[in-house]
Amino acid sequence: MTPTADRQCIQNRRIANTSRTLSSRRRRRTNRLEQDMTSHTTTTADAVAVVNAYGKALAAEDRAAIVALYAEDAEIIPENLPSLRSSAAIEAFYIATFNEINMQVTLQVKSAEVHDKFAVVRSEQPVMVTAKADGARIPSYFRELFVLRNTSAGWRICNYMFSQSPGQAETPA
């Protein structure tokens, strides 16, 4: 082989190797994207399932089930009350709530997004609140924001904020 042909052969091999490397990288990147999209769908559904479980436990006044859905370092940010941090404070909040009122609620998820190890789920729903002391029924409308963290135990609520919107409440017939 001549030196020119030898250099051309080496250059062709480099181009072929580079092309194979780029092609391999594209395949790996495509596979990662497909995996991310699949896991994103699954993790979004899993995060929403935790929020739906919360709604069912709330309607059933199942304090233990609710508390189990929270992370150890969770925080509740209720409307017109100080924020609550710690499992003990959160459990005390639900004990007091269930001692005072009953809620007829069907939680309705309006949106959900997952970003790495965190999910944000928003819900809104009409709620019929019944005071246990006197049986008074108060129509209300709750708006809730859940921030969940994907832990070794699965999705857990780490921040929960809610407010009431009386103007959206449905008056019973």
Tens-digit pLDDT profile for residues 23-46: 555 555 444 444 443 444 468 999
For residue 60, give the CATH number of its domain.
3.10.450.50
Average of per-residue pLDDT across 40-64: 89
Asked whether residue 173 is domain-assigned, the answer is: no
- Contact between 84 and 93 (Cβ < 8 Å): yes
Asked whether residue 164 is domain-assigned, the answer is: yes
Report which of 72, 87, 38 is spatially closest to residue 153, judged by C-alpha positions.
72
The predicted structure's pLDDT at residue 168: 79
Strand pairing report for 118-131 and 109-115: antiparallel
The predicted structure's pLDDT at residue 30: 45
pLDDT tens digits for 115-127? 989 999 999 999 9
Number of folded domains that form the chain: 1
pTM strictly above 0.95: no
The predicted structure's pLDDT at residue 38: 41
Helix (H, G, I), strand (E, B) or coil at 3: helix
- Token pair recorded at residue 20: 């194979």
Range(s) of the domain holding residue 132: 3-168
Asked whether residue 104 is domain-assigned, the answer is: yes
